[in-house]
Amino acid sequence: MLVGTATASPYECSLNTATLGNGSHTLTAVGKNTAGNSATADISVTVSNVPDTESPTISILSPESGGIVSGNTTVLFDASDDVGVVKVELYVDGHSSRLQRRSPSR
């Protein structure tokens, strides 16, 4: 499957290995020139993603708790994770149980 295309130097693509299974995979690079000539190069890599068992940390930096807001207000978050934050969701007056289940009980 094609996972990326680079058209200018530095030629690089981002590969999210979380979308691949753990184990051996072959990376194939195909270079093409303006005349349509091509060349390929293969390497073998082993994907080894450990399960992410640590919950992320999240806080709201702005506005401050108890603050008065009006109009269009930007809400600023601070989020971090030892593996990676995929997204931050903002809810008003409650949030989904799906998100609640991901958080550790304290």
Tell me the CA distances in angstroms from 106 to 60, 69, 103, one per residue in order: 19, 30, 9
Q: Which of 17, 31, 45, 52 binds Ca ion (CB under 5 A)?
A: 52
- Window of 10-18, 34-42, 43-51, 78-86 that interacts with Ca ion by CB under 5 A: 78-86
Q: Which residue is nearest to Ca ion (CB)?
A: 54
Task: Tell whether residue 81 is a contact of Ca ion (CB under 5 A).
Answer: yes
- Return the residue of 82, 89, 99, 100 that touches Ca ion, per CB under 5 A: 82
Q: Does residue 54 interact with Ca ion by CB under 5 A? A: yes
Q: Which is nearer to Ca ion, 10 or 104 (CB)?
A: 104
**Cβ pair 96, 84 in contact under 8 A:** no
Q: What are the distances in angstroms from CA 42 to CA 45, 47, 102?
A: 10, 16, 39
Could you tell me if 22 and 45 are in contact, meaning their C-beta atoms sit under 8 angstroms apart?
no
Would you tell me which residues interact with Ca ion (CB under 5 A)?
Answer: 52, 54, 81-83
